[in-house]
Amino acid sequence: MNAMVLRRARPVDENPLESAQVETPTPHANEIRIAVSVCGVCHTDLHTVEGEIALPKLPVIPGHQIVGMVDQTGRDVTRFRVGDRVGVPWLNWTCGVCDFCKRGQENLCENARFTGQHVDGGYAEYTIVDEKFAYKIPDVFADAQAAPLLCGGVIGYRALRLSDLQRGERIGLFGLGASAHITLQIARHWQCEAYVFTRGEEHRRLARELGAAWAGGAEETPPKLIDRAIVFAPVGALVLDALRVMRKGGTVAHAGIYSTPIPQIDYNLLYHERTIRSVANSTRQDAEELLKVAAEIPVRTEVEMFPLREANRVLQMLKASQIRGAAVLDVGR
């Protein structure tokens, strides 16, 4: 099968992904094989390719926002049949027996495996996954529109929950990319007012199109204090920007898998019971709930399509903030 393979972590400007013919995987017991239609491109892919997060497997095929059709099933598979349309996100497998799994915190599983990091992902014609970690895609979404939901959507949804956002509150979103543009729509569905902090005028225009009450730079002060905030950009200093414009008792959720250091904090910014918390991975429940609410709204995902062979260029564009909404690779092109 054709795939884009990472053999060694390097800056994306060096075109680290190689187009290669690799062996088509065969599903084992409880696994399904998916003929990949599309795969979303995520900032986590960028951090993986450039070596900013651990690479337990090399060579590896990146990609963890996978949509395609089941084309082969392993022994004992019961949830899906050949021909079913499914999605595969970042969380690829958990052990079910460690303390975190037993506490309902499988996103923190001691033995977790992640798609495109521990196992080969969706920058390829086929991928395999345990059937318990694949999801039926709602009919309301075309393949390309569904792909960003599987990481950007899921992580944004979990970040909303961990920020303790209540109906009718004001939330600040720092950075407007694949995840934030979905999260904004869910917040609006919950009758919350969204303030978007982002650098580019094109991103600010998209924020307003999606219903943001205000859009400006992180150094600006919005019309009112925010109740909650989510930092999507991998920039630690934005945590301080969020605290600066937050009311007493508010929460900042940092949704990045990677971030530059958070600078020293003036205690007065944190005082009055303001909270900072990270968002780590997601659970199967997060994915199921996100797909349900996204279909109910329905969420409008802004996507730019590219052929698989252009994965290096897409990652370069992502790094330069040149993608409007989310980038999606068309694996058949």
- In this predicted structure, the answer to whether residue 303 has a pLDDT above a threshold of 90 is yes
- Domain extent listing, the chain: 2-150+301-330, 153-278
Average pLDDT, the chain: 96
pLDDT of residue 333: 65
Contact 62, 90 (CB under 8 A): no
pTM for this model (two decimals): 0.94
Query: Hey, what amino acid is at 264?
Result: Q
Distance from C-alpha of 281 to C-alpha of 125, rounded to nearest angstrom: 25
| pLDDT for the residue numbered 332 | 80
pLDDT tens digits, residue range 197-228? 999 899 999 999 999 999 999 999 999 999 99
**Buried-exposed string 308-328: b where 16+ CB fall within 10 A, e elsewhere:** bebbbebbbbbbebebbbbbb
Query: Average pLDDT, stretch 57-82?
Result: 97
Q: Which CATH number fits domain 2-150+301-330: 3.40.50.460, 3.40.50.300, 3.90.180.10, 3.20.20.70?
A: 3.90.180.10
Q: DSSP string spanning 116-128?
A: TTTB--SSBSEEE
Kindly report the CATH number that applies to the domain delimited by 153-278: 3.40.50.720
Q: Model confidence over 114-171: pLDDT tens digits? A: 999 999 999 999 999 999 999 999 999 999 999 999 999 999 999 999 999 999 999 9
Contact between residue 124 and residue 36 where contact means Cβ atoms under 8 Å apart = yes
Q: What is the pLDDT of residue 51?
A: 94
Grouping H, G, I as helix, E, B as strand and the rest as coil, residue 274 is coil
